[in-house]
A = this chain, B = another copy of it.
Amino acid sequence: MVRVGIVGATGYAGAELVRILYGHPQADLTIITSRQYAGKPVSSVYPAFKNVIDMVCQEFSINAVCEQADLIFTALPHKIPMEIVPEMVKNGKRVIDLSADFRFNDPEKYKAVYQPHTSEDLMKKAVYGLSEVYFNQIRTTDIVGNPGCYPTSVLLPLIPLIKAGIIDTDTIISDSKSGVSGAGRSPNIGSLYCEASESFKAYKAASHRHNPEMNEVLSCEAGKPVNITFVPHLVPMSRGMLTTTYAKLLQNQDTSEILDCLSRFYKDRPFVRVCPPGSVPSTIHVRGTNYCDIGAVIDKSNNRLILVSAIDNLVKGAAGQAVQNMNIMLEMDETLGLDSVPYPL
């Protein structure tokens, strides 16, 4: 049993962490904190937890968290983690941070997108928590920068094909679509039911903060600079993210070769499901799960590959992958706490 704590437990990703860790057979959730709901039972914020989870949200205190937990999840807006995580690590804690603060290794790149980083040393030691790809590095690190939801859905289908030299990295376009929970629980007008319902829209085209995060990882995997065109969209649904990625094939290949390449790369990774030829994913098939479903189609007339990947933005795109990373760090079965049978609908 590992004692775990969650700092920032009442946002949507935090609440998912509560759900998964509370039900995790090898984790003992000892402390949860919330600035906004300190002193209140988490079940008063999310009544689904009534009679199930009787924990009370605490005001954040570095001492309390470090005393009660050995591994800490931070689910906070960026900029705050870089201020508190160093202290945790100094206390010998292992940390999985769900913000952007430890996703970059290069302070300049972080600064260009966010602000100057105040903990550069730790940033450089952090491992990017894309579980399937950085499995070995995650096992031994003390600090994981958990990937953004968009990067997770973009990178998983692309990396195997880039490593195999199959696609032209100068031609990559990812057109992503996210459910509204991606915008978090803050009450802003754009997230209101009446504004989001019957509304499908693009936003931050070619200027989303997750774009440099993807470029960083893809460049590293390709061994040369990769800049993809990335456009996120908002879908009238609560959970789910689907990304359609386009790239030119370097040679003539057929769909089965692409699918084989993906299947081989992920053959020991339980949470990537490669779709059979002729089939592409839907968000409802991964809702509430830690799966990433990937399908592929080739547009023969343009020799262009079309990749479709689906995740639950709050699970594989946030809390689920974070727990998967914990499992890896603790050398436990990767699927622990994440293996409940999916809902059929």
A residues whose Cβ falls under 8 Å from a Cβ of B: 12, 15-16, 18-20, 22-23, 46-53, 170, 173, 175, 177, 179-181, 185, 187-189, 191-203, 205-207, 227-229, 231, 233, 235-240, 242, 244, 246, 270, 273, 279-289, 291, 293, 295, 297-302, 304, 306, 308, 310, 340-345
A140 to chain B, nearest CB (A): 28
- Out of B237, B238, B298, B341, name the residue touching A22 (CB < 8 Å): B341
Give every chain B residue within 8 A of A281 (Cβ-Cβ).
47, 201-202
23 A–B contact pairs at CB < 8 A?
A: A15-B345, A19-B341, A47-B279, A48-B285, A49-B341, A52-B342, A53-B341, A175-B246, A179-B194, A192-B193, A193-B196, A195-B284, A199-B283, A201-B282, A202-B280, A206-B299, A206-B304, A207-B297, A227-B301, A227-B302, A229-B304, A231-B244, A233-B244
User: Complex formed: what's the CA distance from A297 to B232 in Å?
Assistant: 13
User: Complex formed: what's the CA distance from A98 to B297 in Å?
Assistant: 30
- Out of B23, B201, B302, name the residue touching A340 (CB < 8 Å): B23
User: Complex formed: what's the CA distance from A291 to B308 in Å?
Assistant: 30
User: Complex formed: what's the CA distance from A284 to B310 in Å?
Assistant: 23
Known: A48-B285, A192-B193, A193-B195. 19 other contacts (CB 8 A): A20-B341, A23-B341, A51-B270, A173-B173, A175-B175, A179-B198, A185-B189, A185-B194, A187-B188, A191-B192, A197-B237, A198-B238, A199-B237, A199-B240, A199-B284, A202-B242, A205-B306, A207-B297, A228-B302
User: Complex formed: what's the CA distance from A46 to B284 in Å?
Assistant: 10
User: Complex formed: what's the CA distance from A245 to B231 in Å?
Assistant: 10
Contact A344:B46 (CB < 8 A) given known A282-B199, A297-B205: yes
- Complex contact A19–B197 (CB within 8 A): no
Nearest CB in chain B to that of A229: its residue: B299
- Complex contact B180–A194 (CB within 8 A): yes
- Complex contact A236–B236 (CB within 8 A): yes
Closest 6 CB pairs of A and B: A201-B282, A15-B344, A199-B284, A206-B299, A46-B344, A187-B187
User: Complex formed: what's the CA distance from A284 to B236 in Å?
Assistant: 11
Contact A236:B233 (CB < 8 A) given known A187-B189, A193-B197: no
User: Complex formed: what's the CA distance from A16 to B201 in Å?
Assistant: 22
A280 to chain B, nearest CB (A): 5
Nearest CB in chain B to that of A45: its residue: B344
Give every chain B residue within 8 A of A273 (Cβ-Cβ).
50-51
User: Complex formed: what's the CA distance from A201 to B295 in Å?
Assistant: 11
Give every chain B residue within 8 A of A298 (Cβ-Cβ).
206
- Complex contact A343–B19 (CB within 8 A): yes
Give every chain B residue within 8 A of A22 (Cβ-Cβ).
341
Give every chain B residue within 8 A of A12 (Cβ-Cβ).
194, 344-345
- Complex contact A47–B238 (CB within 8 A): no
